[in-house]
Structure 1
């Protein structure tokens, strides 16, 4: 019994490692800070990759290139999505890191959920991610959930919308000015 109590105390005394992202957004639409709780227990490989890219500064200056009203805002193309680059290529790139195997879960794509963008191949997520404006349960079990907005959803709601069915942003897109990892 004593060893069991000691073990319980050690578990309770060990702080949980909570990883998150703090994103400073600037633009015509949104200006402010968004805080995302990354779900390392749900998608550890994806969270590790996102956190590493953020820590390297790879997301700094990356635009929201695909934004669909009532659906989601997509960003994270560290190869072609930097502000000042050729925006016609934004959304087609990734990072120098390898693509990730899918880490699907039972978590639903509700408002504020953050998911990994990918191509038709479920194992092709790399650096791009999206934030849900509203529920999109048709994505459940098809895309990897990596986090949830815990502060700044009002900022997300103001991200400049794109045009047409693919949501490409015309003109000056909103940008992730600075992305930092929080613990």
Structure 2
């Protein structure tokens, strides 16, 4: 009965967003990336991302972890702002609560957007990543929130990090603005 009430509540709620438009600039990438958000797959995660984007929280946030052939991670609204102490980037989140996992059967293919988290499946908050290539080992382990529908060439140009953790050295590429789209 609780599940039915939740479903009815979600159905009655107005859609917050259908996508994001991300303006990226830096030494590597320069251009616009459009993302289709999967409200039906991960409604709570999509609502949190859309709310943070609408507040401008993602504006000026860097891609702090970028691993060639794998993914580009961003969204640390606490420590990942351009001009901040980049040694802390990737360790923060937002002032909103962490989210319970919303795993699905969608595969982590090229262009898929997923939520970053710590070891706990229920620890996603504001950080997300975009896949450069398929990562089947992530399937069913991380919440899928959307997919890139335009500007994948911009994603491909994001400045790569170094070492096994993909930490970006020097000036990382930045999300200049993130806008919620209908």
| TM-score (ref. length: structure 2) | 0.91
1:140 partnered with 2:166: no
Distance 1:106 1:174 in 2: 31
Residue deviations 1:68-122, cap 9 Å, x none? 0000000000000000000000000000000000000000000000000000000
Distance 1:69 1:85 in 2: 24
Distance 1:152 1:83 in 2: 22
**Which residue of structure 2 lines up, in the alignment, with residue 82 of structure 1?**
81
SS in 2 for 1:50: helix
**Which residue of structure 2 lines up, in the alignment, with residue 111 of structure 1?**
110
**Which residue of structure 2 lines up, in the alignment, with residue 66 of structure 1?**
65
- The 3 A distance-change label for structure 1 pair 125 and 18 is closer
SS in 2 for 1:25: strand
SS in 2 for 1:180: strand
Contact 1:46–1:100 (8 Å) recurs in 2: yes
Q: Any gaps of 5 or more consecutive residues in structure 1?
A: 1-15
Distance 1:140 1:104 in 2: 8
Spell out the pairing of 1:1-183 with structure 2 (5 A cutoff). 19-183=18-182
- What's the offset of the Cα at 1:17? 7.7
Contact 1:25–1:31 (8 Å) recurs in 2: yes
Q: How many residues align?
A: 168
Q: Any gaps of 5 or more consecutive residues in structure 2?
A: 1-14
Distance 2:139 2:166 in 1: 21
Distance 1:19 1:182 in 2: 6
Residue deviations 1:4-63, cap 9 Å, x none? xxxxxxxxxxxx886100000000000000000000000000000000000000000000
Distance 1:178 1:62 in 2: 9
Q: Which runs of 4+ in 1 moved over 3 A?
A: none
Distance 1:103 1:144 in 2: 5
